[in-house]
Structure formats: C-alpha cells, structure tokens
Amino acid sequence: MSDARHDAQPKEMANDERDPYPDALRALALLIVVLGHWAATLPRVEDGILMDTEHILDVWAPAGLYTWLVQVVPLFVFVSAAVSSQGVQQRLDRGKPHLHWWAGRALGLARPTVTYLVVLTGFALTALFTREGVLGLLNHSLTVHLWFLLILLGVQLLLPLCLWADRRWGLRAVAGLILLIAAVDLLRARPTGVADLLVLGARVTETHDYVGWINILLVWVLPQQLGIAWWHGRFFGRRVGLGLLLFGLAWLGLAVAAGYPVSMVNGNVGNDTNLLPPTLALLGVMWLQIGLVMLFETPIHNFLKRQQMGRWMAMFGALGLQLYLWHKFAELPATWLGMRLGWPIDAGQPGEPGFWIGRLEWLGLCILMVTPVIIIVVIFERYRKQDVPTRPPHRPFSPEVRRCLSAWGPALASERSPVPSSAWWVWHSPPGCYVLDSDAFRHCRNRSTPSPERRAAGRDISRFHDESRTNASRPAMWHGGARWWLSMVPGWVSR
C-alpha cells in the first residue's frame, strides 16, 4: 500500500465495486456488541420468577480486560469516517451543504429509533396492567445502547472540519487532539507533583466536574480523525499495525497502573468510569483496535475478495441498524420463554460449575428470539411509507420544536426508569416534520400528502448504511409523535 492509497477516488470506486473490508469490520463490531450485551446480562431467577438482573462486570473482575476488545465504538467511528470522507469531500467540492447529507443520515437513524421507542412504550403500558415481572427488571438496559447513535451523529456533523484539519495538518491534527484530551484529564486531576502523576487515573476518576465533559467531544472525534488519515494513506502497513497494537497494550497497562479503571464500558455517571466522561485511558483501546485493523487488513481483504463475500458483508450491513436497535429487546422474550420452559438462564456466578455452559444456552435463546423480531422489523420497514412529506418552511425553532427538544430531558436524565421516561418523551413529542433548508432546520406544520411533483423531488434515505450515496434533492428530518403513530395503525393493518 502506497501513500497514494486513495487518490481521486476511494478504493472501492476505483475498482467499480465496493471494498468488502470496511463492511466486514462493521459486521464484526456489530456482532461483538450484540453478543457482548447478551453475555453481560445475568438474569437471577428464584422459583421460576425473575428476581433481579446483574451485569457481569459487577460479579467478575476479569471481565474488565475483555472490554478492551468489546468496546468497539471507536472502531465504528473509525470505519464510518474512513468510508464517508471521500463522498463528503466530493459534495463539498461541488458546493453542496454538508448539512443536507447529515440530515439524511439523521433521518435514517431517527425513524427506526422512534419506532423502537414506540414499541417499548407499548410494552411499558402493558406491563402496568399485567404486572409481568420481566420488563421492570430489564428496564435499565433496554435503552442503554442508544447513546452511540447520538455520538455517531455528533461526530459526523464535524466531518468537514476534520477533513480540513487532515488536509492542513495531517497527523499533527491527531497529535493535537491527544494533547487536548490529556490537558482535560490534567485539569480534572490537578496534580501538584510527580507523586500525583503516578496516580493520575485515580485522581481523574474521583473528580466529577464539568471540565471532564469536554472530552466527550475530543475523544470521539479522535477516531474519526484517525479514520480519515488512514483512508488517505497517512499511515498504513503491517509494521505500523503491529506497532499500534503493542503501543495500545502498553498504554492500557500504564493507564491501569496509574489508577484508571480497567473496564472501558462502565457508564455509571459519578462512579469510576472511563466512559462518562471519557478519559485518556480510552485512547489505548483505539490504538489496540486500529492496530488490529491494519495488521490483518491484507489477509482478510484478500480472503473476502477470493471468496466473493463482499455482497454478503453489504447485506449484513443493511440489517445493522435494526439488529443494533432491537437486540436488547430480544432479552424480554428470551427471559420470559426461558422461565416458562425451565431453562437454566440463571447459571450462577462465574467460576461455578456450568456457568459458561449456561451462558451459551442464554446466548442461543437470545439468538432464537431476535430472529423473528428482526424479520418483523424488516417487513415493517419494507412496507411503510418511505417518502417524507415536505412543505414550505416556517420560521425556525417554533414552540412545537422547542417542546419536542425539551421533552428529551426526562428521557435522558432518568437512570432508573429509562423505558417510562422514553415513553413520556414519545407521547409528548409533537407530530410533524423538520425540514432542513440550506440555512437551518425548519418546522413544517402541514403534514398532508405531498403533491406528485414534491414526491418526485423527495429522497429515499431508508438505507443509511451507504455512505457513498450522493443526491441533490433536499432531505428532511422527520419525527412523529405517538399520537400520529397510533393514528397510522389502521393503515398499516390494511396493507
């Protein structure tokens, strides 16, 4: 691989076919997330009744080491930035606003996510009447994974800035971000001498102030900057990959020795965490995973080409968002069915006989339950209306928009009951659509069926995974309140 790794066109476009390696990376990362979430959930059953759920990190200390591989959010951001950068740059060169493309991505994420929240709302309301003990105990984990979608959209909004920084400074932009992240951790720790630096991690995680939240931007922009640099050939090769792998292991070892938590997925705000807000230790995961990506790039890429698996990788990627959204939901029917059939979904504690066999049975039950869920979701997404009505814009940020944004508060602030809070948000969000003009988001009050001319000018953005797509038509950001969704039920049934 040379420095001209990607000249005027991305690698897959130069060969008139899609590069399967980024798709394979995202498929692998998605499988790690799904299986990791399922494996981390420990149902506690007594006399056939679900009494509690535990997280494997709370009962098995070595699980923290495995999070160095299963915390794959940096890998997602890295690969997404790599494959999106070329298309974003081409649109900018043609004078097209980046916000148009970003709004399409936001809509592609928002519509399935709102569907997921509406279904959770229905189950939450049903649980109030049936008093079924499954939902309440699994409540805290059903929305825990949605934060990633906000992170992904947030960093993708900054893609033009990252591309400009890569052109102007190259890898020095990466070095600058690392220095800024380190500066934030130093401001949190406020060391007064060498002795304090030796326990920097402990001082950082025991300090909870607003300064640390600056890193929620800097840390997640870093893998995006690295992805752009990698795609443009600023670093490449197995030797560099091996060096980054060893550097990442050394980084993580020194971080743990300095007092940073071992786990990279603990998201409890106010506790010892590397995630909320992100810390300097999380960078070690980036070096480790990017090193593995580069180390195995050539053999895996050749294998995928030889076996002609690119189409299969792209097909799996097309189901990625649905699987990511709904895999936690599958724990509900898996738990219910496991208790009814008397399966050993409660396998005890790690180290006890039969624990890992019980974990495999639990994973099998979750896979069994997620399959029909995904089939139903895909059918629904396939047959529902894809075009978003558009109308002449009104003044931006109307009272309805402000009420919609303020409704997010309880859903995001509540840690104990995210499902009821999400239900409250879905019900109180105003129906309507938010149309992105070249200047700002505008609220569109009229939701009647668009004219054939406007429908022809619309844009099908249901497949958000295709980063290379470009379209000059104006996308829309749409959000429907629960009342609107419920009013559409007879129409769906009649189909």
Same domain, 93 and 241: yes
Can you read off the two tokens belonging to residue 41? 């959930």
- In terms of residue numbers, what domain contains 238? 20-382
Q: At which of 350, 382, 414 does a domain end?
A: 382
Give pLDDT tens digits for 235-256.
989 999 999 999 999 999 999 9
How many residues does the structure list for the chain? 495
Same domain, 367 and 411: no
- pTM value is 0.76
Give pLDDT tens digits for 100-131.
889 888 888 888 899 998 888 888 777 777 65
Same domain, 457 and 318: no
Same domain, 355 and 423: no
Q: How many domains does the chain have?
A: 2
Q: Is 103 helix (H, G, I), strand (E, B) or coil?
A: helix
Q: How far apart are CA 364 and CA 360, in angstroms?
A: 6
Same domain, 330 and 194: yes
Please report the DSSP string for 204-221 in residue order: HHT---GGGGGHHHHHHH
Same domain, 317 and 409: no
Same domain, 150 and 283: yes
pLDDT at 219: 96
Domain membership of residue 11 (yes or no) is no
Residue 261 CB neighbours (<10 A): 22
Of 45-59, 131-145, 170-184, the poorest mean pLDDT is in: 131-145
pLDDT at 391: 45
Q: At which of 348, 382, 416 does a domain end?
A: 382
Same domain, 364 and 396: no
> 471 vs 343, which has greater pLDDT?
343
pLDDT at 130: 65
CA separation (Å) from 202 to 217, 222, 264, 319?
22, 23, 15, 41
Q: At which of 382, 412, 446 does a domain end?
A: 382
Which neighbouring-strand residues pair with 434? 443, 477
423, containing H or E segment: helix 418-428
Residue 430 has pLDDT above 70, yes or no: no
pLDDT at 254: 95
Same domain, 167 and 275: yes
Residue 56 has pLDDT above 60, yes or no: yes
What confidence tier does 461 reach under pLDDT thresholds 50, 70, 90? very low
Among residues 223, 285, 291, 230, the alpha carbon closest in space to that of 253 is found at 285
Residue in the structure block whose two tokens are 């670093």: 235
Same domain, 398 and 323: no
> 447 vs 398, which has greater pLDDT?
398
pLDDT at 355: 86
Give pLDDT tens digits for 307-331.
877 777 777 777 888 999 999 998 8
Give pLDDT tens digits for 357-378.
888 889 999 999 999 999 999 8
Same domain, 86 and 221: yes
> 392 vs 86, which has greater pLDDT?
86
Same domain, 343 and 448: no
Q: How far apart are CA 198 and CA 477, in angstroms?
A: 49
